[in-house]
Copies of this chain bind each other. A is one copy, B any other.
Amino acid sequence: MGERTAISIDGMGGDRAPEIVVEGLERFAAQRSDLHFLLHGDEIRLKPLLQQAPTAAPRTEIRHTTQIVAMDAKPSQAIRRGKGTSMWNAIDAVKSGEAIAAVSAGNTGVLMGMSLLVLRTLPGLRRPALVAAWPTRKGVSAVLDLGADIHADAEQLVEFAIMGAAYFKVVYHNPDPKIGLLNIGSEELKGRESVREAARLIRESKVKLNFHGFVEGDDIANGTVDVVVTDGFTGNVALKTVEGLSKMISAMLMEALSSSPMSKIGAGMALPALKKFRAKVDPRQGNGAVLLGLNGIVVKSHGGTDPVGFARAISVAAELGASRFRVDIEENMKRLTASSTQQTV
Protein backbone atom coordinates (compact mmCIF):
# COMPACT_ATOMS: atom_id res chain seq x y z
CA MET A 1 0.00 0.00 0.00
CA GLY A 2 2.95 2.31 0.78
CA GLU A 3 2.28 6.00 0.22
CA ARG A 4 -1.49 5.92 0.25
CA THR A 5 -3.39 8.24 2.53
CA ALA A 6 -6.32 6.61 4.31
CA ILE A 7 -9.35 7.57 6.39
CA SER A 8 -10.45 5.09 9.03
CA ILE A 9 -14.19 4.50 9.22
CA ASP A 10 -16.31 2.78 11.86
CA GLY A 11 -18.64 0.82 9.59
CA MET A 12 -21.01 -0.24 12.36
CA GLY A 13 -21.69 3.00 14.27
CA GLY A 14 -24.94 4.96 13.84
CA ASP A 15 -28.67 4.33 13.86
CA ARG A 16 -28.75 3.00 10.31
CA ALA A 17 -25.27 1.47 10.03
CA PRO A 18 -23.74 -0.07 8.05
CA GLU A 19 -25.97 0.94 5.09
CA ILE A 20 -25.78 4.72 5.58
CA VAL A 21 -22.06 4.54 6.29
CA VAL A 22 -21.23 2.81 3.02
CA GLU A 23 -23.57 5.06 1.03
CA GLY A 24 -21.91 8.11 2.58
CA LEU A 25 -18.49 6.65 1.83
CA GLU A 26 -19.44 6.11 -1.82
CA ARG A 27 -20.69 9.68 -2.05
CA PHE A 28 -17.46 11.04 -0.56
CA ALA A 29 -15.24 8.78 -2.71
CA ALA A 30 -16.78 10.39 -5.80
CA GLN A 31 -15.49 13.79 -4.59
CA ARG A 32 -11.96 12.73 -3.68
CA SER A 33 -10.16 10.22 -5.85
CA ASP A 34 -6.87 10.47 -3.95
CA LEU A 35 -7.93 8.90 -0.67
CA HIS A 36 -8.14 5.32 0.57
CA PHE A 37 -10.41 3.95 3.28
CA LEU A 38 -10.19 1.43 6.09
CA LEU A 39 -13.68 0.19 6.85
CA HIS A 40 -14.04 -1.51 10.23
CA GLY A 41 -16.85 -3.96 10.87
CA ASP A 42 -18.58 -7.17 9.94
CA GLU A 43 -17.28 -8.36 6.57
CA ILE A 44 -20.42 -10.40 5.90
CA ARG A 45 -22.54 -7.25 6.08
CA LEU A 46 -20.06 -4.78 4.61
CA LYS A 47 -18.97 -6.73 1.51
CA PRO A 48 -22.35 -6.80 -0.26
CA LEU A 49 -22.86 -3.12 0.50
CA LEU A 50 -19.46 -2.26 -0.96
CA GLN A 51 -20.39 -4.13 -4.13
CA GLN A 52 -23.09 -1.48 -4.54
CA ALA A 53 -20.44 1.24 -4.09
CA PRO A 54 -18.27 0.99 -7.23
CA THR A 55 -16.34 4.24 -6.67
CA ALA A 56 -15.32 3.53 -3.08
CA ALA A 57 -14.84 -0.24 -3.30
CA PRO A 58 -11.45 -0.36 -5.13
CA ARG A 59 -9.97 2.00 -2.53
CA THR A 60 -11.57 0.43 0.54
CA GLU A 61 -10.08 -2.26 2.71
CA ILE A 62 -12.46 -4.01 5.09
CA ARG A 63 -11.01 -4.66 8.54
CA HIS A 64 -13.15 -7.41 9.86
CA THR A 65 -14.57 -7.52 13.38
CA THR A 66 -17.93 -8.71 14.64
CA GLN A 67 -17.69 -6.74 17.87
CA ILE A 68 -19.63 -3.50 17.95
CA VAL A 69 -20.45 -0.74 20.44
CA ALA A 70 -24.21 -0.51 20.99
CA MET A 71 -25.79 2.90 20.36
CA ASP A 72 -27.24 2.85 23.88
CA ALA A 73 -24.09 1.52 25.57
CA LYS A 74 -23.04 2.89 28.94
CA PRO A 75 -19.82 4.78 28.27
CA SER A 76 -17.63 3.52 31.14
CA GLN A 77 -18.40 -0.17 30.49
CA ALA A 78 -18.24 0.10 26.72
CA ILE A 79 -14.88 1.85 26.89
CA ARG A 80 -13.40 -0.73 29.26
CA ARG A 81 -14.56 -3.62 27.09
CA GLY A 82 -14.09 -1.73 23.85
CA LYS A 83 -10.90 -3.29 22.49
CA GLY A 84 -11.56 -5.07 19.21
CA THR A 85 -14.83 -3.28 18.43
CA SER A 86 -15.22 -1.55 15.08
CA MET A 87 -15.10 1.82 16.87
CA TRP A 88 -11.91 1.00 18.78
CA ASN A 89 -10.22 -0.36 15.66
CA ALA A 90 -11.21 2.74 13.70
CA ILE A 91 -9.53 4.98 16.30
CA ASP A 92 -6.55 2.64 16.71
CA ALA A 93 -5.73 2.91 13.00
CA VAL A 94 -5.11 6.63 13.59
CA LYS A 95 -2.82 5.90 16.50
CA SER A 96 -0.80 3.38 14.47
CA GLY A 97 -0.42 5.89 11.65
CA GLU A 98 -2.30 3.82 9.09
CA ALA A 99 -4.99 6.48 8.77
CA ILE A 100 -4.89 10.28 9.02
CA ALA A 101 -8.29 10.50 10.74
CA ALA A 102 -11.22 8.41 11.99
CA VAL A 103 -14.98 8.82 11.56
CA SER A 104 -17.78 7.19 13.55
CA ALA A 105 -21.52 7.78 13.87
CA GLY A 106 -21.59 5.65 17.02
CA ASN A 107 -22.41 6.51 20.65
CA THR A 108 -20.99 9.97 21.44
CA GLY A 109 -19.95 9.32 25.02
CA VAL A 110 -18.17 6.09 24.14
CA LEU A 111 -16.43 7.63 21.13
CA MET A 112 -15.17 10.55 23.23
CA GLY A 113 -13.93 8.34 26.05
CA MET A 114 -12.38 5.76 23.76
CA SER A 115 -10.64 8.40 21.64
CA LEU A 116 -9.18 10.01 24.73
CA LEU A 117 -8.01 6.62 26.04
CA VAL A 118 -6.43 5.51 22.76
CA LEU A 119 -5.03 8.77 21.42
CA ARG A 120 -4.42 10.86 24.58
CA THR A 121 -4.38 14.66 24.59
CA LEU A 122 -1.81 16.73 22.74
CA PRO A 123 1.16 17.72 24.93
CA GLY A 124 0.25 20.66 27.16
CA LEU A 125 -3.51 20.44 26.64
CA ARG A 126 -5.50 19.32 29.62
CA ARG A 127 -8.83 18.26 28.14
CA PRO A 128 -10.24 17.72 24.68
CA ALA A 129 -13.22 19.74 23.49
CA LEU A 130 -16.11 18.85 21.20
CA VAL A 131 -16.63 21.37 18.39
CA ALA A 132 -19.37 21.57 15.78
CA ALA A 133 -20.60 23.90 13.08
CA TRP A 134 -23.60 26.12 13.79
CA PRO A 135 -25.65 27.74 11.00
CA THR A 136 -25.73 31.54 11.23
CA ARG A 137 -27.07 34.45 9.21
CA LYS A 138 -23.67 34.88 7.61
CA GLY A 139 -22.95 31.19 7.00
CA VAL A 140 -21.53 29.04 9.70
CA SER A 141 -19.67 29.41 12.99
CA ALA A 142 -17.90 26.89 15.17
CA VAL A 143 -18.98 26.47 18.80
CA LEU A 144 -17.00 24.65 21.48
CA ASP A 145 -16.98 22.94 23.98
CA LEU A 146 -20.29 21.19 23.35
CA GLY A 147 -19.96 18.77 26.22
CA ALA A 148 -16.64 16.91 26.21
CA ASP A 149 -16.29 18.16 29.79
CA ILE A 150 -18.77 19.74 32.19
CA HIS A 151 -16.75 22.79 33.16
CA ALA A 152 -13.77 24.81 32.12
CA ASP A 153 -11.53 27.23 33.97
CA ALA A 154 -9.96 30.29 32.34
CA GLU A 155 -6.93 28.45 30.96
CA GLN A 156 -9.07 25.72 29.46
CA LEU A 157 -11.21 28.35 27.76
CA VAL A 158 -8.05 29.77 26.19
CA GLU A 159 -7.06 26.27 25.06
CA PHE A 160 -10.53 25.90 23.50
CA ALA A 161 -10.04 29.21 21.70
CA ILE A 162 -6.72 28.01 20.29
CA MET A 163 -8.20 24.69 19.17
CA GLY A 164 -11.34 26.28 17.75
CA ALA A 165 -9.31 28.77 15.71
CA ALA A 166 -7.11 26.00 14.28
CA TYR A 167 -10.20 23.97 13.41
CA PHE A 168 -12.01 26.84 11.71
CA LYS A 169 -8.97 27.76 9.60
CA VAL A 170 -8.83 24.28 8.11
CA VAL A 171 -12.49 23.35 7.77
CA TYR A 172 -13.75 26.74 6.55
CA HIS A 173 -10.63 27.94 4.74
CA ASN A 174 -10.50 31.14 6.74
CA PRO A 175 -6.92 32.20 7.57
CA ASP A 176 -7.84 34.48 10.47
CA PRO A 177 -11.09 33.47 12.18
CA LYS A 178 -12.59 35.87 14.72
CA ILE A 179 -12.86 34.41 18.22
CA GLY A 180 -15.49 35.33 20.85
CA LEU A 181 -15.92 34.27 24.47
CA LEU A 182 -19.55 33.53 25.37
CA ASN A 183 -20.63 35.67 28.32
CA ILE A 184 -23.68 37.46 29.68
CA GLY A 185 -24.58 40.98 30.67
CA SER A 186 -23.64 44.50 29.78
CA GLU A 187 -20.21 46.07 29.78
CA GLU A 188 -20.55 46.81 33.44
CA LEU A 189 -21.83 43.46 34.67
CA LYS A 190 -19.09 41.60 32.92
CA GLY A 191 -20.31 38.13 33.77
CA ARG A 192 -18.47 35.07 34.88
CA GLU A 193 -15.04 35.37 36.47
CA SER A 194 -13.44 32.49 34.50
CA VAL A 195 -14.58 34.10 31.23
CA ARG A 196 -13.18 37.49 32.20
CA GLU A 197 -9.90 35.90 33.23
CA ALA A 198 -9.74 33.99 29.93
CA ALA A 199 -10.16 37.27 28.04
CA ARG A 200 -7.32 38.79 30.04
CA LEU A 201 -5.08 35.76 29.35
CA ILE A 202 -5.72 35.96 25.59
CA ARG A 203 -5.07 39.71 25.51
CA GLU A 204 -1.95 39.69 27.66
CA SER A 205 -0.30 36.53 26.35
CA LYS A 206 1.55 36.20 23.05
CA VAL A 207 -0.94 33.67 21.73
CA LYS A 208 -1.93 34.43 18.10
CA LEU A 209 -5.70 34.83 17.97
CA ASN A 210 -8.01 37.30 16.26
CA PHE A 211 -9.84 37.98 19.52
CA HIS A 212 -13.12 39.87 19.29
CA GLY A 213 -13.93 39.85 23.02
CA PHE A 214 -17.18 38.79 24.68
CA VAL A 215 -20.27 37.70 22.78
CA GLU A 216 -23.76 36.88 24.02
CA GLY A 217 -26.11 34.05 23.05
CA ASP A 218 -27.78 35.92 20.19
CA ASP A 219 -24.39 36.60 18.62
CA ILE A 220 -24.18 32.91 17.69
CA ALA A 221 -27.04 33.06 15.17
CA ASN A 222 -25.97 36.55 14.10
CA GLY A 223 -22.56 35.22 13.13
CA THR A 224 -20.79 38.00 15.04
CA VAL A 225 -17.68 35.82 15.34
CA ASP A 226 -16.41 32.68 13.60
CA VAL A 227 -15.59 30.72 16.73
CA VAL A 228 -17.67 30.87 19.93
CA VAL A 229 -15.88 29.58 23.03
CA THR A 230 -17.69 28.39 26.16
CA ASP A 231 -17.60 25.65 28.81
CA GLY A 232 -19.06 22.23 28.00
CA PHE A 233 -22.09 22.61 30.26
CA THR A 234 -23.25 25.89 28.73
CA GLY A 235 -22.34 24.76 25.21
CA ASN A 236 -24.23 21.49 25.52
CA VAL A 237 -27.32 23.17 26.97
CA ALA A 238 -27.29 25.83 24.22
CA LEU A 239 -26.87 23.19 21.49
CA LYS A 240 -29.67 20.98 22.75
CA THR A 241 -31.97 23.93 23.44
CA VAL A 242 -31.53 25.11 19.87
CA GLU A 243 -32.02 21.58 18.48
CA GLY A 244 -35.27 21.33 20.42
CA LEU A 245 -36.48 24.71 19.19
CA SER A 246 -35.56 23.98 15.56
CA LYS A 247 -37.54 20.76 15.60
CA MET A 248 -40.48 22.50 17.28
CA ILE A 249 -40.54 25.35 14.77
CA SER A 250 -40.23 22.95 11.86
CA ALA A 251 -43.08 20.76 13.15
CA MET A 252 -45.33 23.74 13.90
CA LEU A 253 -44.64 25.29 10.50
CA MET A 254 -45.55 22.10 8.66
CA GLU A 255 -48.64 21.69 10.83
CA ALA A 256 -49.73 25.26 10.08
CA LEU A 257 -49.12 24.85 6.35
CA SER A 258 -51.24 21.72 6.15
CA SER A 259 -54.07 23.11 8.30
CA SER A 260 -56.37 24.06 5.39
CA PRO A 261 -56.76 23.18 1.68
CA MET A 262 -55.82 26.75 0.78
CA SER A 263 -52.66 26.75 2.85
CA LYS A 264 -51.72 23.34 1.41
CA ILE A 265 -51.93 24.68 -2.13
CA GLY A 266 -50.03 27.77 -1.09
CA ALA A 267 -47.35 25.69 0.61
CA GLY A 268 -47.11 23.55 -2.53
CA MET A 269 -46.47 26.63 -4.64
CA ALA A 270 -43.91 27.92 -2.19
CA LEU A 271 -42.26 24.50 -1.88
CA PRO A 272 -39.04 25.24 -3.77
CA ALA A 273 -38.56 28.32 -1.60
CA LEU A 274 -39.32 26.36 1.57
CA LYS A 275 -36.82 23.70 0.51
CA LYS A 276 -34.16 26.36 -0.02
CA PHE A 277 -34.94 27.67 3.45
CA ARG A 278 -34.57 24.22 4.99
CA ALA A 279 -31.30 23.61 3.16
CA LYS A 280 -29.89 26.80 4.66
CA VAL A 281 -30.67 25.74 8.20
CA ASP A 282 -29.97 22.06 7.42
CA PRO A 283 -28.01 20.60 10.33
CA ARG A 284 -26.55 17.91 8.05
CA GLN A 285 -24.41 20.52 6.31
CA GLY A 286 -22.56 20.95 9.52
CA ASN A 287 -22.47 17.22 10.32
CA GLY A 288 -19.24 16.13 11.88
CA ALA A 289 -18.55 17.21 15.42
CA VAL A 290 -14.85 16.90 16.09
CA LEU A 291 -13.09 15.97 19.29
CA LEU A 292 -10.24 18.49 19.31
CA GLY A 293 -7.02 18.28 21.27
CA LEU A 294 -6.04 14.64 20.80
CA ASN A 295 -3.01 13.08 19.11
CA GLY A 296 -5.11 12.39 16.06
CA ILE A 297 -8.39 13.39 14.45
CA VAL A 298 -11.69 11.76 15.41
CA VAL A 299 -14.90 13.01 13.80
CA LYS A 300 -18.27 12.18 15.32
CA SER A 301 -21.05 12.00 12.76
CA HIS A 302 -24.62 12.43 14.01
CA GLY A 303 -26.05 9.00 14.85
CA GLY A 304 -29.18 9.57 12.80
CA THR A 305 -27.47 11.10 9.79
CA ASP A 306 -28.04 10.20 6.12
CA PRO A 307 -25.43 9.59 3.37
CA VAL A 308 -25.07 13.34 2.69
CA GLY A 309 -24.29 13.99 6.33
CA PHE A 310 -21.91 11.06 6.65
CA ALA A 311 -20.03 12.12 3.51
CA ARG A 312 -19.67 15.59 5.04
CA ALA A 313 -18.24 14.04 8.22
CA ILE A 314 -15.65 12.12 6.19
CA SER A 315 -14.79 15.34 4.36
CA VAL A 316 -14.15 17.16 7.65
CA ALA A 317 -11.93 14.28 8.78
CA ALA A 318 -9.98 14.31 5.51
CA GLU A 319 -9.39 18.06 5.64
CA LEU A 320 -8.28 18.10 9.27
CA GLY A 321 -6.16 14.97 8.89
CA ALA A 322 -4.20 16.43 5.98
CA SER A 323 -3.76 19.92 7.46
CA ARG A 324 -1.34 21.84 9.67
CA PHE A 325 -4.08 21.75 12.31
CA ARG A 326 -2.02 20.02 14.96
CA VAL A 327 1.10 22.12 14.40
CA ASP A 328 -1.02 25.26 14.57
CA ILE A 329 -2.35 24.26 18.00
CA GLU A 330 1.08 23.28 19.27
CA GLU A 331 2.65 26.57 18.19
CA ASN A 332 -0.06 28.63 19.87
CA MET A 333 0.16 26.53 23.03
CA LYS A 334 3.90 27.26 23.15
CA ARG A 335 3.20 31.00 22.87
CA LEU A 336 0.68 30.73 25.71
CA THR A 337 3.06 28.77 27.93
CA ALA A 338 5.93 31.15 27.17
CA SER A 339 3.79 34.11 28.26
CA SER A 340 2.73 32.49 31.52
CA THR A 341 6.34 31.51 32.29
CA GLN A 342 7.38 35.14 31.80
CA GLN A 343 4.65 36.28 34.13
CA THR A 344 5.81 33.90 36.83
CA VAL A 345 9.38 35.24 36.66
**A interface vs B, CB < 8 Å?**
74-76, 109, 136-137, 147, 150-151, 182, 184-189, 191-192, 216-222, 230, 232-234, 236-249, 251-253, 255-257, 259-260, 262-263, 265-274, 276-277, 280-281
Contacts and interface: CB of A to CB of B under 8 A. Distances in A.
A253 B252 CA distance: 13
Nearest to A255: B277
Given A147-B184, A217-B238, A217-B241, 6 more contacts: A184-B236, A221-B247, A233-B234, A237-B237, A238-B238, A267-B273
Say whether chain A's binding surface is mostly helix, strand, loop, or mixed: helix
Nearest to A264: B270
Copies of this chain present in the complex amount to: 2
14 contacts: A75-B188, A76-B188, A150-B184, A184-B236, A217-B243, A218-B243, A222-B244, A242-B242, A245-B245, A245-B246, A246-B249, A262-B269, A262-B272, A265-B269
Given A184-B147, A269-B262, A221 B238 contact: no
Nearest to A184: B236
Given A234-B234, A236-B184, A220 B191 contact: no
A219 B217 CA distance: 19
A218 B189 contact: no
A187 B248 CA distance: 25
Contacts of A248: 136-137, 221-222, 281
A242 B219 CA distance: 10
Contact of A236 (B76, B137, B217, B233): B217
A192 B150 contact: yes
Given A252-B280, A266-B266, A271-B266, A217 B244 contact: yes
Nearest to A72: B186
Contact of A241 (B76, B241, B255): B241
Contacts of A252: 137, 277, 280-281
A273 B185 CA distance: 37
Contacts of A137: 248, 251-252
Question: Which one of A76, A230, A243, A266 has the highest number of Cβ atoms from chain B below 10 Å of its Cβ?
Answer: A266
Contacts of A75: 186, 188-189
A175 to B, nearest CB: 26
B244 A273 contact: no
Contact of A242 (B150, B241, B267, B276): B241
Given A246-B245, A260-B273, A237 B240 contact: no
Contacts of A266: 265-271, 273
A269 to B, nearest CB: 3
A220 B276 CA distance: 28
B256 A277 contact: yes
Nearest to A77: B188
A76 B271 CA distance: 52
Contact of A182 (B219, B222, B237): B237
A216 B218 CA distance: 20
Contacts of A217: 236-244
B265 A277 contact: no
A245 B239 CA distance: 11
Given A217-B236, A243-B217, A276-B259, A189 B109 contact: yes
